[in-house]
Structure 1
Amino acid sequence: MSYRRDDWIDDDEYPDDRDVEELGDDAPADYDPRTIGYVGDRPSFWSPARIVLLIVVLVIVGSMLLIELALLPLIRAAMLNDPEVLDGDRPGRTKKSPKQLRRLQSGSATIDYELIFSRRKTLGIHVYPDTRVIVRAPLNTDLRFIEAHLHTRAAWILKHQQQFRQTPPSPPVEPQSVTGATVRYLGEGYTLRIETSQRQRVQLGGGEIIVSVRDATDTDHVAALLNRWLRVQAERVFAERLTACFPRVAAWGIAFPPLKIRDMKTRWGSCSSKGNVSLNLRLIHQPVELIDYVVLHELCHLKELNHSPRFWKLMDRVLPDWRDRRKRLNQR
């Protein structure tokens, strides 16, 4: 039995033939009746899911690179700041110490110095009367940068060390505790007079400093009373000078600093990063104008905690004759 095509194929169920016939010459070139849709409509490789996956991968890789770049300087700085005792080509591998004893070879000269890392912003070099050299640097400063800076300042360091060797500082003169001794107070010399009295006190007047004690032969007790009186006077005078000098720097936006009085051996004054001003008790022996020089010097440090050119410009503004005053103070 033979069948015709029309007996078992319904053109309504399989319209491809009809569609081709109906489209005729208008059928697209990529049309294929044996597939669902056109060849041009096949799914693309860059599907939304693959695009999202690619973005996630790129984000993860980028984050890892950023973390590595952020940690690399810290790791490198930590390695470079390991302590190295007295010279060497590479940083040490021992536990980091805030203080290090190091040596710098500059030509034929050798400079031994103490390196101290602290929370500061600048690199400072200090030469002391006993010829010690102390270098203070910000935390995580590259040792190669420190040594390069020291090489540029080597001549300056050696010059000051030589000056200190040629003119060693004399020890501070303590007030003598015997009648007739001269005690300097605010730049003037006063004759010390010790008298016996049941009331212990120190008085100033008539060109004399009078110390009243029960036992005039007890020189240690006389000295203790005199030093206590000098400290009380220093607290009063220094506070007055700080109040008088502060208006010259108030426009810089700095806060009025707390004042401390200390018995310092090598400095007339100091200023901390916390904004505290310390003055040497022995300044009470100096004239008021020299006390003002030290006070203004430390107040300028509240603005510039260093001895950079900016600092000295501030000194020129608030005290134009500071060089003369410094010279006078160092000669006394």
Structure 2
Amino acid sequence: MYKKQPLNKTYPYPVSIITKSGLRGMYIRLTRDKTVKVTAPLSMPVEEIIRFIDSKDAWIRRNLSRMADPVHYEYFTGEMHYFLGNRYPLHFFQAPSSGIALRNGQLEMDMTARTKNRALLYRKLMKEELKKVLISYIRLWAPRMKVTPASVTVKVMKSRWGSCNVKTGDLCFALDLVTKPEDCIESVVVHELNHLLETGHTPRFHALMVHWLPDYKERTKILTAWPREFI
């Protein structure tokens, strides 16, 4: 059971409060449109939720300031898209089979005469491109960390960059990572592999992250600097 709670205080950013049964703690998520979404236990008094938001105000403002404004993509020729941390114009070509490649300083997307939805095809091809990068970093880091991941999947994820099922070793990554610099993608890969050594975000987990990537916190900050495309 859940319900939306009214807010009797004004903030310089939009706030949405959802209370749910079964929750023990309170959580904050920043959405693509820069809304602060708060989830809390169903029985939590609104006053206590407000105190929680107030305690996170500096963190909220800091992270909202780093977030790029949302961009609406239409997938027309010459439209600028982020790919592995750089912006490129997108150009379309008719070909016997579909594919995408970075050539002559632009993203050249081949599509067949039967292609009707450019956005859907672009998403599919970007998923393939990201998976290549992810697998290359997994092959690099898994032996170093002495872990053995299982499957690797890519999907649209709104509030996470990746996830790890510690029981099965299955890894999942956000499609939007394909727009980020490779240093950031590498950091997310190491983060998820690290969960195979330490389940939670404990002091040991962060100590291990510093051991693997001393600048991982700086890399993490950059993740929110690019507009979200796949969400």
TM-score normalised by L of structure 2: 0.70
User: Of Structure 1 and Structure 2, which has the larger fraction of its residues in helix?
Assistant: 1
CA gap of 1:291–1:326, structure 2 versus 1, over 3 A, is same
Write the mapping of 1:196-275 to structure 2, written as runs, cut at 5 A. 197=94, 199-204=96-101, 205-213=103-111, 221-250=117-146, 254-274=147-167, 275=169
Runs of 5+ consecutive residues of structure 2 not aligned to the other structure: 6-16, 31-35, 227-231
Structure with higher Rg: it is 1
User: What secondary structure, in the 3-state scheme, does the structure 1 residue paired with 2:37 have?
Assistant: coil
- The answer (yes or no) to whether the contact 1:131–1:164 under 8 Å persists in 2 is no
Which residue identity lines up with residue 193 of structure 1 in the other structure?
H
Alignment partner of 1:186 is 2:84: yes
Q: Per chain length, whose mean CA-contact separation is higher, i.e. which structure has more relative contact order (CA < 8 Å, sep 6+)? A: 2
- Structure 1 residue 203: Cα displacement: 3.5
Write the mapping of 1:1-332 to structure 2, written as runs, cut at 5 A. 113-114=19-20, 116=22, 126-129=27-30, 130-133=36-39, 158-160=54-56, 163-164=59-60, 167=64, 173=71, 175-195=73-93, 197=94, 199-204=96-101, 205-213=103-111, 221-250=117-146, 254-274=147-167, 275-332=169-226
Q: 230-239 vs 197-206, which deviates more?
A: 197-206
User: Of Structure 1 and Structure 2, which has the larger fraction of its residues in strand?
Assistant: 2
**Aligned positions, number:** 202
What's the counterpart of residue 12 of structure 2?
none
1:231-257 deviation per Cα after TM superposition (whole angstroms, max 9, x unaligned): 11122211111111223321xxx4324
Which residue identity lines up with residue 133 of structure 1 in the other structure?
T
Measured on the aligned residues, the alpha-carbon RMSD in Å equals 3.6
Which residue identity lines up with residue 313 of structure 1 in the other structure?
A
User: What secondary structure, in the 3-state scheme, does the structure 1 residue paired with 2:129 have?
Assistant: helix
- The answer (yes or no) to whether the contact 1:127–1:161 under 8 Å persists in 2 is no
Q: How many angstroms apart in 2 are the aligned matches of 1:161 and 1:256?
A: 37
Identical positions, percent: 26
Q: 267-276 vs 289-298, which deviates more?
A: 267-276
- Structure 1 residue 198: Cα displacement: 5.2
CA gap of 1:206–1:314, structure 2 versus 1, over 3 A, is same
Q: How many angstroms apart in 2 are the aligned matches of 1:165 and 1:213?
A: 42
Which residue identity lines up with residue 98 of structure 2 in the other structure?
R
- The answer (yes or no) to whether the contact 2:18–2:40 under 8 Å persists in 1 is no
CA gap of 1:198–1:273, structure 2 versus 1, over 3 A, is closer
- The answer (yes or no) to whether the contact 2:89–2:107 under 8 Å persists in 1 is yes
Runs of 5+ consecutive residues of structure 1 not aligned to the other structure: 1-98, 104-110, 118-122, 136-146
What's the counterpart of residue 14 of structure 2?
none
Q: How many angstroms apart in 2 are the aligned matches of 1:331 and 1:213?
A: 30
Which residue identity lines up with residue 28 of structure 2 in the other structure?
V
1:165-185 deviation per Cα after TM superposition (whole angstroms, max 9, x unaligned): 793866764654111111221
Q: How many angstroms apart in 2 are the aligned matches of 1:162 and 1:115?
A: 28
Q: How many angstroms apart in 2 are the aligned matches of 1:308 and 1:100?
A: 29
1:250-272 deviation per Cα after TM superposition (whole angstroms, max 9, x unaligned): 1xxx4324222110011111123
CA gap of 1:289–1:170, structure 2 versus 1, over 3 A, is closer
TM-score normalised by L of structure 1: 0.51
- The answer (yes or no) to whether the contact 1:184–1:190 under 8 Å persists in 2 is yes
